[in-house]
């Protein structure tokens, strides 16, 4: 994972890729739509997704499997807006969910419950009951206690719960500690020494039907080697369980393929990863015809979107630092603040008049960690529109309303068509469901007056776009 400290004086650019391109005049477009037109219509911060880019990445996974029995389950956590899920459902995707809310989103978007797998270490009773009633493909069990809970709820509701065990394979995927999920001391999955006994217990429970086995080793994995090690670990269990009379129907190898955020990053393409997985499973697994599941999230969606933001001010610090203050912040894109992650940042229209300088791109949230990119070599001035690239994954889905900032607007571009994916939110939406305590007397008139004034300010700002 690249930090911004290594990018001083480096021109900030990244290959535009499918869905985004520059006009002959140098303006950045999404498919056939000018990003400046979108910013003018919807305001900023604004997430813009390319339908073509999402579809291309999903089809790349499908094509890489060929005739091998498989299921591509999109990891909903990467970008959970229903419009994104609806597009993927229309393409035949399954869904990897980690909460009842994500299952709800997938179903509302037209997802097939028989293509939904449910992971997560803290599955609650409401979510388990919902998943059982919906008839999902399987639960990925992450602890012995969870198996007992699912069995008890399934018995009570008169269902049979289809389960797999998520194994913690204790594999070092050589990724940043923030996104490593397959090490032995991780909270995820069942430890190696408990796996066989848990399957044997599950086989005896009245409301449980065993489906498969799964694991997830981490995110931003740049080579096939860690995945091959994961296959070897899971294959050992599949074969041992078969000898004990428990024959599994699928092997789920998770997601985590690397994405190119930084020019030096390695993109692990489906065409490289999937055939290697298929060959290794065929070599190591004794159960012939076993179905292979994968759960890509970031590698399906990251490169499909940009976050548009407007430059508000430029200012200098006491020493050498210069700041470019924008209207986006860590509430719209938390990855840089949380992980120190790198995103390429580019002017939508190159500014040939502004002075090029090294800038820290920062937001308006009252946290010193609120930055989107440090030490970037840019020529910009107030009012310029910037595109934060590779923002489709863990962007909008991790957005917050901290500092009473509304959630960002999201749109999908399909050729020349613009498809809004959520209603625009303002600060007025954030207080609508909050209840007064009456400690300051009757505040209804004050609230009504404040809301009217804020509404007038919104109209003023819209008129100046």
Q: Could you list the active site residues?
A: 366
Q: What share of the chain is helix, strand, coil (3-state, %, to 5)?
A: 35, 25, 40
At which residue do the structure tokens 């909903």 appear? 76
Residue 376 CA to residue 358 CA, distance in Å, equals: 5
Peptide bond into 290 cis (omega under 30): no
Residue 187, token pair as written in the block: 């909270």
Instruction: Give per-residue burial for 83-117: e unless 16+ CB within 10 Å, then b.
Output: bbbbbbbeeebbbbbbbbebbbbbbebebbbebbb
Show contacts of 235-238: CB within 8 Å, 24+ apart. Answer: 235/280, 235/281, 235/284, 235/285, 237/167, 237/195, 237/196, 237/199, 237/213, 238/213, 238/285, 238/286, 238/287, 238/290
User: Which residue, among 117, 161, 434, has the nearest Cα to 292 in the 3D structure?
Assistant: 117
Maximum CA pair distance of the chain? Answer: 74
Q: Which residue has the tokens 């609230």?
A: 447
The angle at the Cα of 306, spanning 460 to 88, to the nearest 5 degrees, equals 115
Residue in 337, 272, 404, 304 with CA at minimum distance from that of residue 78: 304
- The encoded tokens of residue 462 equal 């819209």
């Amino acid at each position: 994972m690249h930090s911004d400290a290594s990018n001083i004086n480096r021109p900030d650019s990244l290959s535009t890729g499918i869905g985004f391109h520059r006009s002959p005049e140098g303006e950045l477009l999404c498919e056939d739509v000018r990003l400046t037109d979108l910013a003018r219509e919807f305001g900023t911060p604004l997430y813009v997704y390319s339908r073509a880019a999402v579809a291309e990445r999903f089809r790349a996974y499908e094509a890489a499997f060929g005739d091998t029995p498989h299921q591509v389950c999109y990891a909903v956590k990467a970008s959970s807006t229903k419009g994104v899920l609806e597009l993927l459902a229309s393409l035949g995707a399954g869904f990897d969910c980690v909460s009842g809310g994500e299952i709800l989103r997938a179903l509302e978007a037209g997802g097939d419950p028989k293509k939904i797998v449910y992971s997560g270490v803290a599955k609650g009773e409401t979510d388990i009951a919902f998943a059982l009633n919906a008839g999902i493909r399987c639960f990925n069990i992450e602890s012995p206690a969870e198996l007992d809970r699912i069995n008890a709820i399934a018995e009570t509701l008169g269902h049979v719960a289809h389960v797999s065990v998520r194994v913690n394979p204790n594999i070092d995927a050589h990724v940043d500690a923030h996104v490593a999920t397959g090490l032995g001391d991780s909270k995820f999955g069942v430890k190696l020494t408990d796996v066989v006994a848990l399957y044997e217990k599950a086989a005896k429970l009245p409301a449980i039907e065993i489906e498969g086995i799964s694991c997830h080793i981490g995110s931003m994995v740049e080579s096939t080697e860690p995945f091959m090690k994961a296959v070897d670990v899971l294959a050992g269990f599949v074969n041992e369980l078969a000898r004990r009379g428990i024959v599994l129907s699928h092997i789920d190898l998770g997601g985590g393929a690397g994405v190119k955020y930084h020019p030096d990053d390695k993109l692990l393409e489906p065409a490289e990863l999937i055939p290697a997985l298929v060959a290794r499973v065929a070599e190591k697994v004794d159960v012939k015809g076993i179905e292979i599941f994968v759960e890509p999230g970031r590698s399906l969606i990251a490169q499909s979107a940009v976050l548009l933001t407007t430059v508000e001010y430029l200012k200098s610090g006491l020493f050498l630092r210069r700041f470019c203050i924008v209207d986006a912040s860590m509430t719209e894109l938390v990855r840089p603040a949380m992980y120190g992650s790198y995103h390429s940042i580019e002017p939508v229209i190159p500014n040939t008049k502004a002075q090029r300088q090294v800038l820290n791109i920062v937001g308006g949230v009252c946290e010193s960690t609120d930055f989107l990119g440090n030490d970037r070599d840019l020529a910009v001035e107030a009012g310029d529109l910037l595109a934060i690239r590779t923002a489709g994954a863990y962007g909008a889905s991790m957005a917050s309303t901290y500092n009473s900032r509304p959630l960002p607007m999201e749109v999908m571009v399909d050729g020349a068509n613009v498809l809004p994916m959520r209603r625009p939110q303002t600060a007025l939406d954030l207080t609508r469901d909050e209840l007064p305590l009456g400690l300051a007397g009757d505040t209804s008139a004050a609230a009504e007056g404040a809301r009217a004034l804020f509404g007038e300010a919104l109209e003023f700002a819209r008129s100046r776009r």
